Structure 1
Amino acid sequence: MTALDNGRRTWSAADLDTAARSLAHKLTAQGTRVLATLMDNTPAWVVADLACAQAQVVHVPLPLFFSAEQLSHVLGTAGIDTLLTLGALAARWPSAPSSAIDIADEPLVMVRLPFRAPPMPPGTAKITFTSGTTGVPKGVCLSADSMQRVANGLVQALDPLDIRRHLCALPFAVLLENIAGLMAPLARGATCIVLPLKELGLEGSSSFDATRFHSMVQRHQPNSIILLPQMLRAWVHHLLEARERAPASLRMVAVGGAAVGSRLLAAARSVGLPAYEGYGLSEGASVQTLNLPGAERDGSAGRALPHARLRIAADGEIEIAGSLFSGYLGDPTPTPAWWPTGDLGSIDEDGFVSVRGRKKLVLITSFGRNVSPEWIETQLRDEAAIGQAVVLGDGQATLSSVLWPLRAETTDADLQAAVDAANARLPDYARVHRWTRGRAPFDAASGMATPNGRPQRAAILTAHADALGIPST
């Protein structure tokens, strides 16, 4: 049975195991304790991940779009002693000992670094780095058991869909694709279609060519895909403009990373995309809830998956249990039995979870009204002209927004019409009174977003405060 398909050759589960054992032996022989991968989505990445598990080496997946400063911070903080990367990238460390290695038909370079592993929570198998509001990545330590529980929960929940081919459309360095898009399908015995992200139309953290993506989906005919909301929005727009429909092979398009919006989901269904919203976070080893065919509720993030438990605290904060992380790197504080997510939400009588936004992001206007900016941003992104939006205005009489258009040719008049349409659905205290076009893409490269696409609000405010006429601090 085929486990991986890169469009040129295939690998069986036995092929992957053989390659992983060979690499695991090498890692053990040279005394590697912490391995970082700085690579594209390729079968070699998958082999490296499996090898780390076999050799009990801590794996630190690094996104290719991390800045030089972020990479430097992560390498030292995590005590990475071995880096597996492409030859061109290995040149960044010219004085470090290195050796060529071929993994799954891919020529790579193994760089030995002088760092030593710091104390970590017992059982740490993987460290995923997520950017905070300052852009400095924070290490989330995960055990093999927690990650496997999530993968098994997804296998159980998705079993009725009989997923046999999954197209990996997000970077493996993003935990959502790593666990839900790789571990879970492989555990089920499905085939993972693993292609370099550029072939799928994705470059950096947010440049996405929906036309190219659609052609690749048509070519490979997957049953499932995981997307970020902005990717779904661009794909839906392409299908509507081209008057095309999604391939009939698709049974599940899971969407996460940010609120999706009911209008976008409805538009997706109208062109044959079976899109379903979910919710998760790194501290819970990724996905916690998911809408499913026949078990969905408009405006919700779905019900808890088999591995997850959720409850609502007295102040409205969502708390989770069942697949928690082991702790933050460098922080000895024990992980509580129930983790406060920082998200506000509710759970209805049927178990569907609704997420209102981040607890710490609630804006309080000068008139004393509490407003979740993410609620308004979802309304703005429901308009076809708007690709991304960030709402600001804490302490101000009215709200402002920074907008990034879905297409470069979108005019200011188009954006104003979109804002007017969104405002018409909102109460007066939640309407956007001023807006400006973004000065840079909302992505990790510009510093305007985290690697998984969440906006860096402080950076966005600083870069646009003058245009909006509001204080930057």
Structure 2
Amino acid sequence: MQLIKQLQSFAESCPARPALLGEDSEFSYAALLTAVEHIAAELRAQNISVLGLYADNGPGWLLVDLACQAAGITLVPLPAFFSQQQLVHTINTSGMQALLTDNCERFTALDEVGQALAEIAGLALIETPATDPAALPPLTAKITFTSGSTGTPRGVCLSNETQFETAAALARQLESLHSQLHLCLLPLATLLENVAGAYTSWLLGGTVVAPGLARLGLSGSSGLDPAQLCRCIDDFQPHSLILLPQILKVLVEQIQHRGWQPPRSLRFVAVGGAKVAADLLLQARSLGLPVYEGYGLSECGSVVALNLPLADRPGAAGRPLPHCEITLRNREVMVRGPRYLGYLDGTGEDEEWLATGDLGEIDGDGYLHITGRKKNILISAFGRNISPEWIESEVLLEPVVMQCVVIGDARPHCAALIFPRPGADSEQVDRWLVAVNRKLPDYAQIRNWAALPAPLTFSDGLLTANGRPRRDLIAERYHESIENLYGGVPS
């Protein structure tokens, strides 16, 4: 409720200040609060305790999010890229009684949904009668789904307090930038955009711009129209953005090869979700994108470390935000501070320090360097420990490579599965890998590669929700290609 109280304060002190803009609607802080209170009353009248939300980006999504906080309702954001099977799993395990959506057709074929009950915030309220109410941890305000080790989405239960403390810590760090206009580029069902984008902007008294995903050039699980994305950024002239590494690569390519110029309005662009090569960050900055890498995880309410204009080390994930602490245990990154309440399946760590599963280093100035995933470490046939993310970040510097997965566990050398940029030929990839290998020690060099027949996507189960490769499933899917890279002799 702290966020609602802050919005109430702004509604009283500066009621006419713009708070939320869509493609065809806008809300001042006073109008935002009025709309939130109205939607909260409608939801209370439906006697809902757990509500799903499946909708395009836009003011309606954020209004419902805030209304659930005001009404004490647990919100379950449903990513648009979930498969039908994943939607069914989410509906069943969360125990939601209803969901709001702008795409009824997506749900009409599911046995788990019933009749339409009402229209709220321009969205259809559909009954989802839960067979068994979920036993949620006390104070669960939001269930954000992340990919589990088996590929089944795993529900992370978060309190309003954890989300607020993350946003408040970010707001304190960014206050001096006077960033007053944030453009939401990621789907709002993504916790990073939800908390670090919208909430943080409101705590700074700023304006959140939330156009539909089509206006941003985004479609499906991985479709992106780079020219449309750039046009949208030009149209709104934002002060801040949040990007995934692949989107950053696309923007750099648009500058280099299409002549796009980033708007001079940009003051801060955060990039996270996966490791970013220092050279790509420096290249982006030289081209007019004020990009800073951060690090976080859903279990901690999103961001826990971030580079800043006056505290910056390219190649590092930044220093810890003031609301948390970071240490290492056997090279694994451990975080202490606001955290999740548990997983929806009843599991979760009760220890003071949360084990992230990420490997890292902390330098003498307190900057966190992520070196890989604990379970992703490759051990070569010669006993060398190799982080595939390290090599992949170097390979992905060149736009000719859209996706790269490095392999080599129990093998004599490293190889890669690569999805080249459409139109690129194998010779271009070969030349780039020669250049990359010059920067790598011999045990980490990519000796050969195979082309992926199609991009890796979340919908086919080969990427996590935040774009990381699911290496075990990729190895299974492309077993024959991998064996051919090593002479067809199984390991």
Aligning the two structures, in what range does the TM-score lie when normalised by the shorter sequence? over 0.9
**What is the match of residue 393 of structure 1?**
408
SS at 1:354 equivalent: strand
Question: Equivalences for 1:241-256 in 2 at 5 Å?
Answer: 241-256=257-272
**What is the match of residue 430 of structure 1?**
444
Cα deviations by residue, 1:69-125 (Å, 9 ceiling, x for unpaired): 11111110111111111233343347612134141xx3x211111114311221111
SS at 2:478 equivalent: helix
Q: 1:41 aligns with which of 57, 63, 84?
A: 57
Distance 1:411 1:392 in 2: 22
Cα deviations by residue, 1:407-464 (Å, 9 ceiling, x for unpaired): 3111111111222211111111111122111222222122221221111112221222
Structure 1 counterpart of 2:168, which letter?
A: N
Unaligned segments of structure 2, at least 5 residues: 1-16
Is 2:293 the partner of 1:273? no
Cα deviations by residue, 1:209-244 (Å, 9 ceiling, x for unpaired): 221111111110000000000000011001111233
Deviation at 1:333, TM superposition (A): 4.5
The answer on whether the counterparts of 2:318 and 2:368 sit within 8 Å (CA) in structure 1 is yes
Cα deviations by residue, 1:184-219 (Å, 9 ceiling, x for unpaired): 111211111101111111112322222111111111
Change (3 A) 1:97 1:35: same
Distance 2:93 2:400 in 1: 41
Greater alpha carbon shift after TM alignment, 108-117 vs 423-432: 108-117
**What is the match of residue 96 of structure 2?**
80
Runs of 4+ with >3 A deviation: 92-95, 470-473
Q: 1:408 aligns with which of 404, 422, 433?
A: 422
TM-score relative to the length of structure 1: 0.96
Question: Equivalences for 1:6-155 in 2 at 5 Å?
Answer: 6-86=22-102, 87-93=104-110, 96-103=114-121, 106=122, 108-115=123-130, 116-155=132-171
Structure 2 counterpart of 1:351, which letter?
A: G
SS at 2:371 equivalent: strand
Q: 1:194 aligns with which of 184, 207, 210?
A: 210
Cα deviations by residue, 1:270-298 (Å, 9 ceiling, x for unpaired): 21000110000011110111111121012
The answer on whether the counterparts of 1:120 and 1:330 sit within 8 Å (CA) in structure 2 is no
The answer on whether the counterparts of 1:90 and 1:109 sit within 8 Å (CA) in structure 2 is no
Greater alpha carbon shift after TM alignment, 462-471 vs 41-50: 462-471
Distance 1:74 1:244 in 2: 40
SS at 1:197 equivalent: coil
SS at 1:199 equivalent: coil
Structure 1 counterpart of 2:229, which letter?
A: F
Distance 2:446 2:72 in 1: 52
Change (3 A) 1:341 1:288: same
Distance 1:332 1:340 in 2: 14
Is 2:455 the partner of 1:441? yes
Q: 1:319 aligns with which of 334, 337, 342?
A: 334
Cα deviations by residue, 1:108-144 (Å, 9 ceiling, x for unpaired): 2111111143112211110110012432001111111
Structure 2 counterpart of 1:101, which letter?
A: E
**What is the match of residue 353 of structure 2?**
338
Is 2:234 the partner of 1:218? yes
Is 2:474 the partner of 1:460? yes
**What is the match of residue 7 of structure 2?**
none
Deviation at 1:10, TM superposition (A): 1.0
Deviation at 1:467, TM superposition (A): 1.4
Give the number of aligned pairs. 468
Distance 2:212 2:36 in 1: 20
SS at 1:83 equivalent: strand
TM-score relative to the length of structure 2: 0.92
SS at 2:214 equivalent: helix
Distance 2:459 2:428 in 1: 27
Q: 2:432 aligns with which of 403, 418, 431?
A: 418
**What is the match of residue 324 of structure 2?**
308
Change (3 A) 1:449 1:332: closer
Structure 1 counterpart of 2:106, which letter?
A: L
Deviation at 1:4, TM superposition (A): 0.8
Is 2:192 the partner of 1:176? yes
The answer on whether the counterparts of 2:42 and 2:120 sit within 8 Å (CA) in structure 1 is no
Structure 2 counterpart of 1:310, which letter?
A: I
Distance 1:222 1:310 in 2: 32
Distance 2:134 2:490 in 1: 37
Distance 2:228 2:490 in 1: 39
SS at 2:275 equivalent: coil
**What is the match of residue 12 of structure 2?**
none
Distance 2:120 2:155 in 1: 29
Deviation at 1:332, TM superposition (A): 4.6
SS at 1:379 equivalent: helix
The answer on whether the counterparts of 2:118 and 2:124 sit within 8 Å (CA) in structure 1 is yes
Change (3 A) 1:155 1:371: same
